[in-house]
Amino acid sequence: MTDRKDPAKSSSKDPAPNEKGAGSAKQSMGGPSAKPRAARPKRSLIERAATALGSGTSSDDAGVRNLAAADRLDAKFDATEALVAAIPENVNKPAEYALRGKVPQPPQGATAKPENLDATASTITESNESEKNGDKAAPGENLNQGPLQKHRADSLGRALTTNQGVPVGDNQNSLRAGLRGPTLLEDFILREKITHFDHERIPERVVHARGSGAHGYFECTEDITSLTKAAPFAKVGKRTPVFVRFSTVAGERGSADTVRDVRGFAVKFYTDEGNWDLVGNNIPVFFIQDPMKFPDVVHAVKPEPHHQMPQASSAHDTFWDFISLMPESIHMVMWQMSDRAIPRSYRTMQGFGVHTFRLVNSAGEATLVKFHWTPVLGTHSLDWDEAVKIAGADPDFHRRDLWEAIEGGAFPEYLLQIQTFTEAEAEAWSFDVLDATKIVPEELAPLRTVGRLVLNRNPDNFFAETEQVAFCTQHIVPGIDFTNDPLLQGRNFSYLDTQLLRLGGPNFHEIPINAPVVQVHNNQRDGFHRQTINRGRVNYEPNSLAGGCPFQAGARGFASVAERLLAQQASTEPTKLRAKPEKFADHYTQARLFWASQTPIEREHIARAFRFELTRVQTQAIRERMVAMLRNVDEGLAARVAADLGTPLPEPLSMVVPPVKAPEVAVSPALSLLARPGDGRILGRRVAILVADGVAGAGASALYDALLLAGAVPRYVGQRLGVVRTAEGDELPVEVTVEAAPSVLFDAAVLPPGAGAAALARDGLAVEFVQLQYRHCKPLLVPASAASLAVAAGVTAAAAAAAGGGDDPGLLVLPDDEVAAAAPAFIKAIAMHRAWQRQTEPPAV
């Protein structure tokens, strides 16, 4: 053997250069120089493994390294042989087949443990450490997953560098040939910076492009392990981290928040059995029944292709042309024309899973389910006129509201409620639960609260988290399963396909915000932007060279539920066909249910929405077709819209099948927004306290403090920034002006007690502020001394209320000395959200 003490000296028994490594078939060209195995003493596997795990292969002494590497390669070879021999055949192969008519349960994959970890290593040099390499991979670990903390960066106290870590000495000037000479191509710092800037944008989502996100947690509050083995519901009190993204649907990434549109409500659960994405909307139904029509409905609602208008609006010909020819859409359109389509905030917006899913318990038993998110603060909306004005005053209104609420500690909270029912119950109903244009009325399947969702952390970086988060309906975990809802099946394909393009390839799951908190182990390799550096030579299954790992999980892994919903049709229908069930053909029964369940003011809003939308439609025949469709929903609604459009009442559209004569539910109060006022808290509600010189500071300050204590966001609003002098001789700060923060950005207002109102009554902006607060039916607190400002704004009801008349719970008129004590009553009025009793058509003020 070569003398370890003097590697320069070689024994006469050393092989010739062309013989090195010849005795070991495992050695590769250019590998360590090792003697043929026969030329060296045979040592035990344990002895050689000890050498292999020592520091010999990283020694600074080349001779030591040479012999240590030879020993280590010998040990690796023998350990590999032993590992492969431990799995002589694929014992699980028979379990792939239904032999003798019996469907087997998938077994756990067969594995063997290596006697030496080098047996599964990519390279024996894996333990050679550096600041970049770090240590070798720990057995069975994928540290690329887990908390986001390791992906966050902070530059405090750090100098600028290039993306390659090279310090940047001058970030102000590009490299030139002389002071006034040309910029040089060799300036790699400039080129890298400009190139990265040029490539900063990725394709926006085709739909749901405009979004806002937040981190939080889901907490299980009821034991439903009898229904599902899904990880988030494993036990009461268990918390699962989540990331939630709210969005509009039709608009582009830079469009306004307060447009009339469907809102996305997507929740990514980072469970301890993988990621579950519940990708829903704030409306429980959809426009279409079959995914074949999804490109059509999106094309129709998007800006018209010849001039790319209108942005983020459905009030145009192509949308209504499509809708009026697709009667299955009428139920969704009724919701879209209701106040549901203009929520006050994401914090006061319901969410729905839309489709029928399955819950699966540990025994493999399935229950049909629909998912609901119910905001604890109630479900509230904007007035349409208000929404239009907000779009101009603050296009980021919903995004700002969500961010500021979380930042201020008013964490949004929602209840997860489920509707569960059996296949037998579903088959007996007059509608088909696989039809995404239908709801299951709560009267047939009551809501059951099983958990709560709390959003308690804003993202660090919008692009890295909110923009790059990828939701896919196909992301489910054991305990959750699909049904044959055709639209859901289409979404399962479409969402994954979208992320592959938008995020640059199949490794979008390795982007930190998309990575699960559990480890990922599979044989998927390569592709654009791969982050994981997989250890070992094996990338297939079954295998023996890696001890069978990673192996299939067997019974503890995900398994689809045997399909039974279509069992009755199996004997009468062809195996493959392009058609829909007969119950899908009833397009109007549930649209009638929705209309019948609305309060008078909500019906008024729906009629106004149809008037606005269809007024923007330029083609008369399309307007008439829509009115003809509405006649199948409600004659009064159709007559009202026809009159508003100045068109005769057309004949009703023909129906594929007539509506159900005696539906299971004729009126469902739960479909009315006014049935969901919330828990009475006013967290995050923005309240304007108008101030001017002469204001009674004591009353205004006491009210401000009371609102702040209740979780609201009060603001002193004046004509100019600075301070105002109070009647007591003190000062109050003006936090924002009526010009910069118009009325539509506030949920309620307080007129100034004392002498300050007179000056505001002469200010057109202040008068308009009060006028719009009243017109939009928001709570108003009017001290007696501010009556002149109210009258100047046309709020004559204030005078009537002061005289003891009027019936407006949102209008509090009281003496100046009672302003501070009125806080509880005013907070109660704010919690009501609106005093719709005062709304008139057209507006009186």
What is residue 814's DSSP assignment?
Answer: E
State how far the Cα of 144 lies from the Cα of 516, in Å rounded to an integer: 10
The token pair that represents 678 in the structure block: 């919330």
Residue type (1 letter), 636: G
First CA to last CA distance, the chain:
103
Is the peptide bond prior to 550 cis by the omega test (within 30 degrees of 0)? Answer: yes
**Residue closest to 484 by CA, chosen among 558, 429, 566:** 566
Which SS3 state, helix, strand or coil, does residue 687 take?
A: strand
Crossing angle of helices 823-831/697-709, nearest 10°? 50
Q: What is the DSSP string of 617-683?
A: ---HHHHHHHHHHHTTT-HHHHHHHHHHHT---PPPPP-SSPPPSS-S-S--GGGSGGG---SS--T
Q: What is the DSSP string of 452-492?
A: EEEEEE--S-IIIIIIT----TT---TTEE----HHHHHHH
State how far the Cα of 633 lies from the Cα of 635, in Å rounded to an integer: 7
Question: Contact at 8 Å (CB) between 378 and 413?
Answer: no
- Containing 450, the helix (H) or strand (E) segment is strand 448-457
Crossing angle of helices 600-615/620-630, nearest 10°? 160
Question: Contact at 8 Å (CB) between 478 and 273?
Answer: yes
State how far the Cα of 696 lies from the Cα of 699, in Å rounded to an integer: 6
- 3-state per-residue secondary structure call for 336-403: HCCHHHCECCHHHCCEECCCCEEEECCCCCEEEEEEEEEECCCCCECCHHHHHHHHHHCCCHHHHHHH
State how far the Cα of 567 lies from the Cα of 424, in Å rounded to an integer: 12
Q: Which of 116, 275, 281, 632 is catalytic?
A: 281
Question: Contact at 8 Å (CB) between 300 and 318?
Answer: yes
Q: Which of 208, 215, 331, 398 is catalytic?
A: 208
Q: What is the DSSP string of 558-625?
A: --PPPP-TTGGGTTTS-SS-----GGGG--SHHHHHHHHTS-HHHHHHHHHHHHHHHHT---HHHHHH
Crossing angle of helices 600-615/384-393, nearest 10°? 60
State how far the Cα of 137 lies from the Cα of 132, in Å rounded to an integer: 13
Which SS3 state, helix, strand or coil, does residue 668 take?
A: coil
**Which residues, 6 or more positions from 460, have their beta carbon under 8 angstroms from its beta carbon?**
152
In which residue are the tokens 């923005």 written?
686
Taking 3-state DSSP, the helix, strand and coil percentages for the chain, each rounded to the nearest 5, stand at: 35, 15, 50
Q: Is 380 a catalytic residue?
A: no
Question: Contact at 8 Å (CB) between 480 and 360?
Answer: yes
Q: How far is CA 23 from the centre of its chain?
A: 60
State how far the Cα of 382 lies from the Cα of 609, in Å rounded to an integer: 13
Tell me the CA distances in angstroms from 484 to 272, 451, 566, 709, one per residue in order. 27, 26, 9, 50
Count other Cβ atoms within 10 Å, centred on residue 414. Answer: 25
In which residue are the tokens 């250069």 written?
17
Q: Is 534 a catalytic residue?
A: no
State how far the Cα of 150 lies from the Cα of 244, in Å rounded to an integer: 21
Which SS3 state, helix, strand or coil, does residue 449 take?
A: strand
Q: What angle do CA 162, 166, 167 make, to 5 degrees?
A: 90
Backbone angles phi, psi at 75, to 5 degrees: -65, -40
State how far the Cα of 409 lies from the Cα of 395, in Å rounded to an integer: 23
Active site residues: 208, 281
